[in-house]
Amino acid sequence: MSLSPRRRVAVVGATGVAGQQFLVSLDRHPWFQLTALAASARSAGKPYRAAITNERGHLQWGCEEPLPAAFAEKVVVDASRLDLGEVDLVFSAVESGAARALEERMAPHVPVISTSSAFRYEEDVPILVPGVNPDHASLVKRQQRERRWRGFVAPIPNCTATGLVTALAPLERQFGLRSVIMTSMQALSGAGRSPGVAGLDILDNVIPYIPKEEEKVELETRKILGTREGDRIVPLGLPVSATCTRVNVRDGHTEAVFASLDRKASLDEVAQALRAFGREFTDLGLPSSPPELVHVTDDPYRPQPRIDRRINDGMTTVVGRLREDPALEHGVKFVLLSHNTKMGAAKGAILVAEHLVHQGLA
C-alpha cells in the first residue's frame, strides 16, 4: 500500500442522517482527516453542533455513538461553495435530489465517494462494494479520461444490495448463479428521518413496499456482479427478483435469499465458499475493514438484526439458516443480515475510499 500522506476529506451533506454516520466513522481515522463539513446554505456558518440543534435546544443527532468532540465546534460550510482546492477527497451523503448537481460540480476536481444513486447507472461509473468487485474500481479512469475530470464519482450501492452481493459473489464465482429471489425486511434507518417512516405507521406493522427499492436492488446486483470488459462493465445476466418490505427495526436489513446455482453444491461447500470469501481483501487490513466479509452462523435463530448488526462494527454480512431449496434447481436458501448504515452506507463508503487509496486510484 502506498504510504500516502494523510488525505484531507470533506463530508458533504454532513448534517443529515447519513452525513452524521460519516462523522462517527471518520473520527480518529488514521488516513483521512476531516477538514470540511459541508451542508446546505441554511446550516453554513454555524458550528456543527449548533447546526444540528433545533430551536428548542434539542441535538438532532441520530447515531448510537456520541457526536465526536473533534467535530462538534467545526464551522459548517456551504456545500455549493466548498473550496475543492482544500480537500483531497469528498464523501457525498447528499439526498438524491441535490446530489446530481453537487457531485457534478465536485467530481471534476476531486474523487467523490457517494452514497447517492445520482451516478450509479452511468456506463463509466462503477458501483463499488468492498471486497466484491475490486476490478471495477479502475473504471474511474475512464471518467477522468472521457469527462476530462481530475476527480471522479464512485458510488456505493443501495444499502439493500450491499449485503446481497456480498453473499452472492462467492456463490457466483464458485458455483455460478442462475437466478435469485429475495425478500427483504428493512430497517427504519434506511428511510432517514425527514420524513422517514412515521412511528404511527410502523408500530405493529409491516409495510410491504419501498418505492424504487426493488428496481435498484435488481439492477445494481447485476451490475456489481458483472464482468469488467475493457472500459466497461457487462452486467451479469442474472434474473433477480426482490420484494422489499419495511419492518419495525432500527438498524440492520434482514434478507431471505433463495438462489439457484449453476451446479449442484452441498451446503458444506456453500458455507465454505461464503466463509472463505474476501480473504485477500480483509488481509489488506484496511483501517475500516472487518476481519471477515461474511460470517456464517449455525445457530438456527440467527442472524437477528438486534444481536448481529453489531458484529465487527456492522461491516460483516452475517449469513444463517443455510438450507437446500426444494423449489429451485440446485437451490440453496439462507437469511442474511447487513448493517444498512455501517457497511451499507457511511463506513462502507469510507472502506471503499481506503481501498481506492490502496489501489492508487484516489
Contact residues: a second copy, CB under 8 A: 56-59, 62, 64, 179-181, 183, 185, 188-189, 191, 193-209, 211, 218, 239-241, 243, 245, 247-250, 254, 256, 258, 298-307, 310, 320-321, 325-328, 331, 333, 335
Q: Which is nearer to a second copy, 106 or 217 (CB)?
A: 217
User: Which of the following is catalytic: 29, 63, 109, 159?
Assistant: 159
Q: Shortest approach of a second copy to residue 315 CB, angstroms?
A: 15
Catalytic residue list contains 253: yes
User: Which distant-in-sequence residues (6+ apart) come within 8 Å of 229 by Cβ?
Assistant: none
Distance CA 152, CA 59 (A): 34
230 CB neighbour count, 10 Å cutoff: 8
H/E run at residue 50: helix 48-51
Q: Which is nearer to a second copy, 205 or 227 (CB)?
A: 205
Q: Which is nearer to a second copy, 196 or 287 (CB)?
A: 196
Distance CA 77, CA 47 (A): 9
User: Which of the following is catalytic: 136, 244, 253, 339?
Assistant: 253
Q: Output the CA angle 31-35-37, nearest 5 degrees.
A: 120
Catalytic residue list contains 159: yes
Q: Which is nearer to a second copy, 160 or 189 (CB)?
A: 189
C-alpha cell at 174: 464458485
Nearest to 7 by CA among 113, 89, 95: 89
204 CB neighbour count, 10 Å cutoff: 5
Kindly list the catalytic residues: 159, 253
